[in-house]
Structure 1
Amino acid sequence: MSGAPTSDPTARFSDRVADYVRYRPGYPDEVIRVLREETGLAPVHVVADVGSGTGISSKIFLDHGNRVFAVEPNPDMRAAAEAMLGGDPRFHSVAGTAEASTLPDAAVDYAVAGQAFHWFDAPRARDEFRRIVRPGGWAVLLWNARRTDTSPFLRAYEALLHEHGTDYTSVNHENITDDTLRAFFGGSYTLRTAYNEQVFDYAGLKGRLLSSSYAPNEGQPGHTPMLRAMERIFGEHQVDGRVVLEYDTKIYFAPVHPG
């Protein structure tokens, strides 16, 4: 495999922001229901969306009525979020990182990371979450974990990523262990899971694939063979011109312990 992306996690998605905005999955309503029922999340609470990217996770909290500080180091992704959400007065775009958010001490009630934790320096991010979250607040990690073996199409798609992805295995968020999570949360945490899915035609599946940082972009070695393989897989598994990507949305949360 070749054409590896940049090793700087804050810059990995700069050349694929448009596909990220259009084709990455959102989060199901179940996320807010779980946090309301199990942590007491209310519209009055202030949320830091850390590693907010193009604003996918920020949007679910804005829709709930929360004030959101979207902390994102990548200027292209931050600009995409501002274009989508900047008209909401409760949305605040912040140039910062998980390890240095620039937010004041005890500024928020919830510190959330959606689909971003595996890019963090976890010990430093833990300290930053503890600094910015008020006493009695919560840390929340969200992932749309794509199912890999519940249908013939998903098995074929997973094999494609292993064969053609530049560094798919090493950056997979499923590499995060229970020990890593316990160290980050400072002890035990709660995990809840909700179903999520995306239904794609051929163009949509292509865009979803190219939104991934490990997919060779146009002009990189391996790009054309990857798309040929994807076209073959789509043709073999489509039903009425559509395929389904299935996800388990994982919701991890715990009270923030003082540092």
Structure 2
Amino acid sequence: MRDAVDRFDGLAETYEMHRPGYPAKTFQALLSDLRCPARMAVDVGAGPGNSTASLRQAIGPGWSIIAIEPGRDMRRVLSRRFSAAPDVHVADATAEEMRLPSGVAALVVACTAFHWFDAPGFYTEAKRVLAPGGVLAVIRNRRKPLPVLQAFDRYIEEHSAETNDLAQREVRKEPVVRDLAQVPGFMTARSCTYPWSSQLTPNRLIDLYLTRSTLWGVVRRIGLSRVMADLQTICVEQGLEEIPMVIEWETTAKWARRRSE
């Protein structure tokens, strides 16, 4: 996970402002599957805290949250965001080495961050940190296809030096339930998907895309002003005016409960 942190330097404020959070019922479904008395949740790869804020709101009082983030820029915004929240503690650590006592957590979540982890290392560390009966969850927001989103993705593929197949990259962003079910020390995995929607103007949609590391790879190659102009041109070609459009989302949670020993 440490190898990827520099990709987000300088993006923390943009990420905090334009990335969405997660529906409360996503986390509440995990709570209903807990079988341990611990009341500590660990948000791994917390970024600037969008997932942490959603988690905190969903689980309510009586819990403490460890927000783990190895990126200095992201951690700076994360720490500032929760500076007045005594129940949220920010940690400079990784998914593979959380630096927490064994068996301390009831819940370990990774929200749209799993693809940056070494999966076996993350699973092993999550098992160590979780109390028996605790839950490990991988959560992800996914946009449903729209012509303008598909055009943006084609633009990234055409100009990126890193990837020419975003669809394949998307597949790697979360485990399949079968793989999660086979992690040693965990019980049968489950999955739920929660649909929701948001409204964005074309300019706000561009702002959202500018939180993607793949697009910033293009920005570093050809410059921010050109990328902004090109994306605005795509919006015009799609016939989009400066009025809100509906973006349909799905939030998927895949989780498994740690076996009692």
Identify the residue that residue 191 of structure 2 maps to in structure 1.
191
Do the aligned residues in 1 keep the contact of 2:189 with 2:254 (CA within 8 Å)? Answer: yes
Tell me how far 1:79 sits from its aligned partner.
Answer: 1.3
Tell me how far 1:213 sits from its aligned partner.
Answer: 0.7
Alignment of 1:216-231 (within 5 A): 216=216, 220-223=220-223, 224-231=225-232
Identify the residue that residue 25 of structure 1 maps to in structure 2.
20
| AA in 1 matched with 2:228 | L
Describe the shift of the 1:49–1:219 C-alpha distance in structure 2 as closer, same or farther (beyond 3 A). Answer: closer
Tell me whether 1:58 sits opposite 2:52 in the alignment: yes
Distance in 1 (CA, whole Å) between partners of 2:27 and 2:93 is: 25
Alignment of 1:218-257 (within 5 A): 220-223=220-223, 224-235=225-236, 236-238=238-240, 241-257=243-259
Distance in 2 (CA, whole Å) between partners of 1:87 and 1:123 is: 35
Identify the residue that residue 79 of structure 1 maps to in structure 2.
76
Alignment of 1:102-117 (within 5 A): 102-117=99-114
Q: Which moved more, 1:197-206 or 1:182-191?
A: 182-191
Describe the shift of the 1:133–1:44 C-alpha distance in structure 2 as closer, same or farther (beyond 3 A). Answer: closer
Tell me how far 1:257 sits from its aligned partner.
Answer: 3.8
Distance in 2 (CA, whole Å) between partners of 1:136 and 1:104 is: 16
Describe the shift of the 1:242–1:162 C-alpha distance in structure 2 as closer, same or farther (beyond 3 A). Answer: farther
Distance in 2 (CA, whole Å) between partners of 1:82 and 1:237 is: 41
Compute the TM-score of the two structures, normalised by the length of structure 2.
0.84
Distance in 1 (CA, whole Å) between partners of 2:37 and 2:170 is: 30
What is the aligned length?
250
Q: Which runs of 4+ in 1 moved over 6 A?
A: 41-44
Distance in 1 (CA, whole Å) between partners of 2:239 and 2:181 is: 40
Q: Which moved more, 1:181-190 or 1:132-141?
A: 181-190
Do the aligned residues in 2 keep the contact of 1:237 with 1:243 (CA within 8 Å)? Answer: no
Compute the TM-score of the two structures, normalised by the length of structure 1.
0.84
| AA in 2 matched with 1:229 | D
Identify the residue that residue 64 of structure 2 maps to in structure 1.
67
CA distances 1:225-247 after superposition (whole Å, capped 9, x unpaired): 53333112322243552233332
Tell me how far 1:106 sits from its aligned partner.
Answer: 0.8
Tell me whether 1:118 sits opposite 2:129 in the alignment: no
Describe the shift of the 1:47–1:26 C-alpha distance in structure 2 as closer, same or farther (beyond 3 A). Answer: same
Distance in 2 (CA, whole Å) between partners of 1:219 and 1:196 is: 30
Tell me whether 1:12 sits opposite 2:7 in the alignment: yes
SS at match of 2:5: coil
Distance in 1 (CA, whole Å) between partners of 2:119 and 2:21 is: 24
Gaps of 5+ in 1: 1-6
Tell me how far 1:31 sits from its aligned partner.
Answer: 1.0
Q: Which moved more, 1:227-236 or 1:215-224?
A: 215-224
Identify the residue that residue 4 of structure 1 maps to in structure 2.
none
SS at match of 1:208: helix
CA distances 1:123-144 after superposition (whole Å, capped 9, x unpaired): 1111100111011111011100
Do the aligned residues in 2 keep the contact of 1:164 with 1:226 (CA within 8 Å)? Answer: no
Gaps of 5+ in 2: none
